[in-house]
Amino acid sequence: MECRVEGEKPVLELNQVSIAYSGTPILHSIDLSLYPGEIHALVGENGAGKSTLMKTILGIISPDKGEVIFFGQKRHHQSLKQIMESGISMIHQELMLIPELSIAENIFLGRENELGFWPWERKKNAQLKTAELLRDCDIPLDPATLVKNLSIAEQQLVEILRAISQRAHLILMDEPTSSLSEKEITLFRRLIHKLKNEGVSILFTSHKMEEIFGFSDRISVLRDGYLISSSNKENCTEQEVVQQMVGREMNQFFPHREVQSGDISLQVKGLGIPGLFQGIEFDLHQGEILGFGGLVGAGRTDIGKALAGLLIPQEGEIKWKNQLVKFKNPQEAILQGIGYVSEDRKEMGFIPEFSVQHNLTLSSLLDFQRWGILDKSKEKETAEGHVSRMKIKTQGVNQQVMYLSGGNQQKVVFGRVLQHLPEVLILDEPTRGIDVQAKFEIYTLMAELSKQGKSIILISSDLPELLHMSDRILVISKGKQTATLKKEETNPAEIMSYAMK
Amino acid sequence: MNLKKILIGSQSGGIFLALILMCVLISSLTPRFLTDTNLLVILNQVSVNAILAFGVTFVIISGGIDLSLGSMLAVAGVVAALFAKSDGGNVYMALLMALGVGALMGAMNGFTVILSKVPPFIVTLGTMTIARGAALIISSGRPVSDLSESFNYLGNGDLLGVPIPIIFLVGTYLVCHFVLTQTVFGRYVTAIGGNETAAWVAGIPVAKVKWWVYTLSGIFAALGGILLSARINTGQPNAGLGFELDAIAAVIIGGTSTRGGKGSMTGTLLGVLFIGVINNGLDLLNVSAYWQQVVMGGIIILAVVLDSVYQKMKR
Amino acid sequence: MKISLRILLTCLVLALAWACGSKESGEKKKIVIGVSMLSLQNEFIQQVSASLEKHAKEADVELIVVDAERSALKQVEQVENFISQQVDAIILNPAEFEASSPAILRAKKAGIPIVNVNSSTKEKPDAWVGSDDAESAKMAIDFLAKKLNGQGNILIIQGYMGQAAQIDRERGAVEALKAYPNMKLLATQTGEWDRAKSMSLMENWIQSYGDQIQGVFAHNDEMGLGAMQALLDAKKKDKVVVVSVDGIGDALKAVDAGTLDATILQNAEQQGAQAIALALDLIHKKPIKESQVLIPFQVKTK
Does C208 sit within 8 Å of B32, measured CB to CB? Answer: yes
**Per-residue pLDDT band at A11 (split at 50, 70, 90):** confident
Chains that touch C (3 or more CB pairs under 8 A): B
> Does some domain include residue B197?
yes
Q: Are B235 and B86 in contact (CB under 8 A)?
A: no
> Among A330, A348, A354, whose Cβ lies nearest the Cβ of B191?
A354
Output the pLDDT for position A462: 79
Strands B158-159 and B162-163: antiparallel
Does C189 sit within 8 Å of B37, measured CB to CB? Answer: no
CB of C204 less than 8 A from some CB of B: yes
Does A330 sit within 8 Å of B201, measured CB to CB? Answer: yes
Higher pLDDT, B290 or A368: A368
Chain A residues whose C-beta is within 8 A of a chain B C-beta are 308, 310, 329-331, 333-335, 340, 342, 347-354, 358, 362-363, 365-366, 369, 372-374, 376, 416, 420
> Does some domain include residue B315?
no
> Among B195, B202, B262, whose Cβ lies nearest the Cβ of A363?
B202
Tell me the nearest-neighbour CA distance from B204 into chain C, angstroms. 28
Does A358 sit within 8 Å of B187, measured CB to CB? Answer: yes
Our answer on whether A and C touch (3+ beta-carbon pairs < 8 Å) is no
Other Cβ atoms closer than 10 A to A447 = 18
pLDDT digits (tens, 9 = 90+) for C79-128: 988 888 889 999 999 887 777 888 898 899 889 999 999 888 888 899 99
Question: CA of B140: which chain C residue's CA is closest?
Answer: C41
Question: Chain C residues with CB inside 8 Å of B33's CB?
Answer: 207
Q: What is the mean pLDDT of residues C224-233?
A: 94
Output the pLDDT for position B143: 81
Of C18-27, C109-118, C173-182, where does mean pLDDT reach its minimum? C18-27
Output the pLDDT for position B81: 93
Higher pLDDT, B68 or A25: B68
> Among A335, A342, A369, whose Cβ lies nearest the Cβ of B201?
A342
Report d(CA C242, CA C255) in Å as an integer: 10
Tell me the nearest-neighbour CA distance from B182 into chain A, angstroms. 6
Q: What is the mean pLDDT of residues A48-54?
A: 83
Query: CA-based Rg of chain C, rounded to a whole angstrom?
Result: 22
Report d(CA B310, CA B301) in Å as an integer: 14
Strands C215-218 and C241-246: parallel
> Nearest 5°: phi and psi at A285?
-100, 160
Tell me the nearest-neighbour CA distance from B43 into chain C, angstroms. 11
> Does some domain include residue C169?
yes
- Find all residues with CB under 8 Å of C188, minimum gap 6, and list them: B289, C155, C156, C157, C158, C170
Q: Are B228 and B114 in contact (CB under 8 A)?
A: no
If asked whether residues C33 and C151 sit together in one domain, one would say no
- Find all residues with CB under 8 Å of A349, minimum gap 6, and list them: A341, A342, A409, A410, A413, B198, B201
Closest listed residue to residue B207, CA positions, set B61, B56, B62: B62
Question: Chain C residues with CB inside 8 Å of B231's CB?
Answer: 196, 199, 229
Domain assignment of residue B130, given as a range: 35-284
If asked whether residues C139 and C286 sit together in one domain, one would say no
> Does some domain include residue B266?
yes
Other Cβ atoms closer than 10 A to B211 = 19
Q: What is the mean pLDDT of residues A351-375?
A: 92
> Does some domain include residue B24?
no
Does C40 sit within 8 Å of B141, measured CB to CB? Answer: yes
Our answer on whether B and C touch (3+ beta-carbon pairs < 8 Å) is yes
Chains that touch A (3 or more CB pairs under 8 A): B
3-class secondary structure per residue, chain B: CCHHHHHHHCCCHHHHHHHHHHHHHHHHHCCCCCCHHHHHHHHHHHHHHHHHHHHHHHHHHCCCCCCCHHHHHHHHHHHHHHHCECCCCCHHHHHHHHHHHHHHHHHHHHHHHHHHCCCHHHHHHHHHHHHHHHHHHHCCCCCECCECHHHHHHHHCEECCEEHHHHHHHHHHHHHHHHHHHEHHHHHHHHHHHCHHHHHHCCCCHHHHHHHHHHHHHHHHHHHHHHHHHHHCCECCCCCCCHHHHHHHHHHHCCCCCCCCCCCHHHHHHHHHHHHHHHHHHHHCCCCHHHHHHHHHHHHHHHHHHHHHHHHHHC
If asked whether residues C174 and C280 sit together in one domain, one would say no
pLDDT digits (tens, 9 = 90+) for A223-249: 878 888 888 888 888 878 877 876 655
If asked whether residues C36 and C126 sit together in one domain, one would say yes
| Chain mean pLDDT for chain C | 86
CB of B242 less than 8 A from some CB of C: no
If asked whether residues C289 and C232 sit together in one domain, one would say no
Question: Chain B residues with CB inside 8 Å of A350's CB?
Answer: 195, 198
Output the pLDDT for position C18: 53
Largest CA-CA distance found in chain B, in angstroms, rounded? 61
CB of C193 less than 8 A from some CB of B: no
- Could you tell me the CATH number of the domain that includes residue C196? 3.40.50.2300
pLDDT tops 60 at residue A428 = yes
Q: Are C169 and C136 in contact (CB under 8 A)?
A: yes
Question: Chain A residues with CB inside 8 Å of B188's CB?
Answer: 365
CB of C253 less than 8 A from some CB of B: yes
If asked whether residues C122 and C77 sit together in one domain, one would say yes
pLDDT tops 60 at residue A257 = yes
> Does some domain include residue C93?
yes
Of A116-125, A337-346, A372-381, where does mean pLDDT reach its minimum? A116-125
DSSP percent split of chain C into helix, strand, coil, nearest 5? 50, 20, 30
Output the pLDDT for position C81: 86
Question: Chain C residues with CB inside 8 Å of B239's CB?
Answer: 194, 196
List, run by run, the mean pLDDT of 10-residue segments along chain B (315 residues): 54 81 90 87 92 96 94 95 87 94 96 92 94 90 84 87 92 96 95 94 94 97 94 86 90 86 92 91 84 84 78 65
pLDDT digits (tens, 9 = 90+) for A69-88: 888 778 777 777 777 778 88
Output the pLDDT for position A209: 78
**Per-residue pLDDT band at A40 (split at 50, 70, 90):** very high
If asked whether residues C162 and C261 sit together in one domain, one would say yes
CB of B242 less than 8 A from some CB of A: no
Question: Chain A residues with CB inside 8 Å of B187's CB?
Answer: 358, 362, 365, 374
If asked whether residues C183 and C247 sit together in one domain, one would say yes
Q: What is the mean pLDDT of residues C230-242?
A: 93
Report d(CA A297, CA A274) in Å as an integer: 15
Question: CA of A332: which chain B residue's CA is closest?
Answer: B203
If asked whether residues C290 and C197 sit together in one domain, one would say no
pLDDT tops 90 at residue C200 = yes
Our answer on whether B and A touch (3+ beta-carbon pairs < 8 Å) is yes
> Among B32, B136, B228, whose Cβ lies nearest the Cβ of C207?
B32
Report d(CA C142, CA A333) in Å as an integer: 79
Tell me the nearest-neighbour CA distance from B315 into chain C, angstroms. 40
Does B283 sit within 8 Å of C204, measured CB to CB? Answer: yes
> Does some domain include residue B13?
no
Number of helices and strands (H, E) in chain A?
A: 16, 22
Q: Are B271 and B252 in contact (CB under 8 A)?
A: yes
Say if residue C74 is exposed, middle or buried (CB neighbours under 10 Å; 0-12, 13-18, 19+): middle
Report in angstroms the alpha-carbon separations of C47 from B99, B142, B275. Answer: 31, 10, 36
Domain assignment of residue C241, given as a range: 133-265
> Among C40, C190, C200, whose Cβ lies nearest the Cβ of B45?
C200
Does B30 sit within 8 Å of C208, measured CB to CB? Answer: yes
Does C204 sit within 8 Å of B280, measured CB to CB? Answer: yes
Tell me the nearest-neighbour CA distance from B64 into chain C, angstroms. 21
Q: Are A459 and A304 in contact (CB under 8 A)?
A: yes
Say if residue B305 is exposed, middle or buried (CB neighbours under 10 Å; 0-12, 13-18, 19+): exposed
Could you give the number of structural domains in chain C?
2
Say if residue B161 is exposed, middle or buried (CB neighbours under 10 Å; 0-12, 13-18, 19+): exposed
> Among B184, B198, B261, whose Cβ lies nearest the Cβ of A374?
B184
Could you give the number of structural domains in chain B?
1
> Hey, what amino acid is at B11?
Q
Domain boundaries, chain A: 12-246, 252-337+423-501, 348-421
Contacting B residues, span 181-210, partner chain A, CB-CB under 8 Å? 182-185, 187-188, 190-191, 194-195, 197-205
- Find all residues with CB under 8 Å of B312, minimum gap 6, and list them: none
Chains that touch B (3 or more CB pairs under 8 A): A, C
> Among A352, A365, A420, whose Cβ lies nearest the Cβ of B184?
A365
* Polymer length in residues for chain C: 302
CATH 3.40.50.300 at A252-337+423-501, yes or no: yes
3-class secondary structure per residue, A221-233: EEECCEEEEEEEH
CB of C233 less than 8 A from some CB of B: yes
Other Cβ atoms closer than 10 A to A489 = 8
CA pseudo-torsion sign C47, C49, C53, C59: positive
Between the CA atoms of C148, B283, B158 and B240, what dihedral angle is there, to the nearest 10 degrees? Answer: 110
CB of B27 less than 8 A from some CB of C: no
**Per-residue pLDDT band at A396 (split at 50, 70, 90):** confident
Tell me the nearest-neighbour CA distance from C124 into chain B, angstroms. 30
Question: Chain C residues with CB inside 8 Å of B279's CB?
Answer: 200, 204
Question: Chain A residues with CB inside 8 Å of B194's CB?
Answer: 351-354
**Per-residue pLDDT band at A4 (split at 50, 70, 90):** very low
Tell me the nearest-neighbour CA distance from A368 into chain B, angstroms. 9
CB of C9 less than 8 A from some CB of B: no
Question: Chain B residues with CB inside 8 Å of C250's CB?
Answer: 143, 145, 234
Question: CA of B283: which chain C residue's CA is closest?
Answer: C204
Give the rounded percent of residues in chain C with a pLDDT score beyond 70. Answer: 90
- Could you tell me the CATH number of the domain that includes residue B236? 1.10.3470
If asked whether residues C258 and C141 sit together in one domain, one would say yes
- Find all residues with CB under 8 Å of A158, minimum gap 6, and list them: A97, A103, A106, A107, A147, A150
Q: Do domains A12-246 and A252-337+423-501 have the same CATH topology?
A: yes
Output the pLDDT for position A434: 79
Domain A12-246 CATH (choose: 1.10.3210.10, 3.40.50.2020, 3.10.20.90, 3.40.50.300): 3.40.50.300
Contacting B residues, span 24-83, partner chain A, CB-CB under 8 Å? none
Output the pLDDT for position A385: 92
Question: CA of C187: which chain B residue's CA is closest?
Answer: B286
Closest listed residue to residue B48, CA positions, set B303, B257, B242, B254: B242
> Hey, what amino acid is at A119?
P
- Find all residues with CB under 8 Å of B20, minimum gap 6, and list them: none
